[in-house]
Amino acid sequence: MKKPLVFHLLVSFTFGFIFTAQAETEFIYGKVSTFLGETYVGQIRWGNEEAFWTDRFNANKVYNDNIDFLTDREILQLKKEKQYFKGDTHSSLDDSQMQNDKSEYTFLHQFSCQFGEIKSIKMNRWQKADLQLRDGSKVTVSGKGTNDMDTPIIIYDEQKGKIEIDWMEISQVEFLIEPRKFKSSIGEPLYGTVFTSEGNYSGVIEWDKDERLTSDELDGEVKTGRWKSTFAKIRIIKPHQAGSMVTMQDGKEVYVFGTNDVNFKNRGITVTNDEIGHINVDWSTLDRVEFVPKKKAGKGYSQFQKPREITGTVTTKEGKSLQGKIVFDLDEQFDYEVLNGGSGKMFFEIPFRNIKRISPQSESNCTVELKSKKQIQLRDSQDVSFKNEGLLVFHQDSTNPIYVSWREVEEVVFN
């Protein structure tokens, strides 16, 4: 009996969809051009660290035009508060010090976004770079205090193999969708669950702020000498005495010690997931990590949306309700940007697109409600304390925003 044409079409469509979906992976891919005119195309690893579209590119913003919306008196007040929080209570500022200081440096912030949200990075002079985002907008950044600029880039060129390119040689990096038959040259993502005294978190794992691939190695010492293993062979890592008990995939247990991969000098474990963002776990809170194979491919380049402006409603302690476009902390104004804050020994980096509500509780902390309805108490950062520089609210299409001091904020609800 012949099968209906509709059945054949359905099967073709279904398998065609699966094939297309599998063609994209979570690995950074693109074209690197040098000042000497050379070009390389392939999988990219950024400074021996970042490898995935969901990894974050960190730099410093060079300009902050938002400060121009404040009056001199408001700026002066913010500067006095900055002095206070730095413990500098002896110096004073007056109106005469305001001229030509709206603040090239005082009000600059860090820039952070996922690699998948960048279209290209073009280097220019003076250790700066111009980032073009997916919507065509541009941000000029510098690399002081971060390691994502002035770092070598490794590219696995399709014809020339593995190439390491010094930062000063790079003219431009263009990010691209990988070809249909792409296969990773550097292993697979580390994935699993991090069990801590303050909660459990599942997602892509970065170990010791460095290793994040199954081909990366955990190293240390055992009683008989040096020891190392790729993460692909490891099932569980559990802090134990002055090191860690490592359970291999075959069930064998090994006590490893002597390096910051396996002891209290470890710089922390980061978990990335869609619900929260980045969760940075301090070694002191770690119970164990269990690695499991990743069930499905992560977010591919074409799945990243264009940046959207942050919008919502700001309610003040006086009961005023202000709706419109929001600039948070005189800085964050797009949904890919992150809210930073600590909770116990954890530190969170949460994209604004994941946040439903922020409610200040005291001068040092906030309650943050995610769109998943999960609530987190955050503290210990400028974003969630009285160090916050305040909000600008643009009502509808207005070009003249209302400035709201953080001390005046009762609640912020995001659309």
Residue 281 forms part of a structural domain: yes
The verdict on 258 and 320 lying in the same domain is no
- Dihedral (CA of 254, 259, 264, 270) sign: negative
Tell whether 253 is covered by a domain: yes
Do both 252 and 168 map to the same domain? Answer: no
Query: Domain tally for the chain?
Result: 4
Q: Which residues contact 294 (CB under 8 A, 6 or more apart)?
A: 188, 189, 191, 204
User: If you write DSSP's letter for every residue of 129-190 in order, what string do you get?
Assistant: EEEEETTS-EEEEE-TT-SSSS--EEEEETTTEEEEE-GGGEEEEEE-PPPTT---SS--B-
Nearest partner of 401 among 341, 326, 328, judged by Cα:
326
Residue where a domain terminates, one of 175, 205, 220: 175
Instruction: State the pLDDT at residue 315.
Output: 97
Judgement on whether residues 381 and 357 belong to the same structural domain of the protein: yes
pLDDT of residue 109: 81
Q: Count CA atoms closer than 13 A to 101's CA, side-chain side.
A: 14
The pLDDT, as a whole number, for residue 406 is 93
Q: Is there a single domain that holds both residue 240 and residue 317?
A: no
Strand partners, 226: 221
Per-residue pLDDT, 66: 86
Burial category of 258 from C-beta neighbours within 10 Å (exposed 0-12, middle 13-18, buried 19 and up): middle
Residue 83's SS3 state is helix
Tell me whether residue 8 is in a domain: no
Side chain identity at 72, as an amino acid letter? D
At 109, give phi and psi (nearest 5°): -130, 170
Instruction: Answer yes or no: is 381 within a domain.
Output: yes
Tokens describing residue 357: 């509500």
Looking at the structure, tell me whether residues 164 and 88 fall in a common domain. Answer: no
Tokens coding 372: 């998943």
For residue 9, being part of any structural domain is answered with no
Range of the domain at 70: 65-97
Same domain for 218 and 128, yes or no, is no
On whether both 197 and 249 belong to a single domain, the answer is: yes
Average pLDDT along the chain, 415 residues, taken 10 residues at a time: 42 37 76 95 92 92 85 82 61 43 60 94 86 91 81 92 94 92 89 94 94 95 96 97 97 97 96 95 96 86 91 96 95 94 93 97 94 94 90 87 94 96
Residues 118 and 230 in one domain: no
Q: Which of 294, 322, 337 is the last residue of a domain?
A: 294
Which residues on neighbouring strands pair with residue 130, listed in sequence order? 122, 140
Whether residue 247 is found in the same domain as residue 326: no
The reply to whether 13 falls in a domain is: no
The strand pair at 277-281 and 355-360 is best described as unpaired
Q: What are phi and psi for residue 276, nearest 5 degrees?
A: -110, -55
Q: Is residue 24 part of a domain?
A: no
Q: Examine residue 166 and state whether it is found in any structural domain, yes or no.
A: yes
| Cα–Cα distance list, 73 to 161, 359, 401, 404 (Å) | 58, 26, 16, 14
Whether residues 276 and 335 share a domain: the answer is no
39 lies in the same domain as 75: no
Residues 165, 45 share a domain: yes
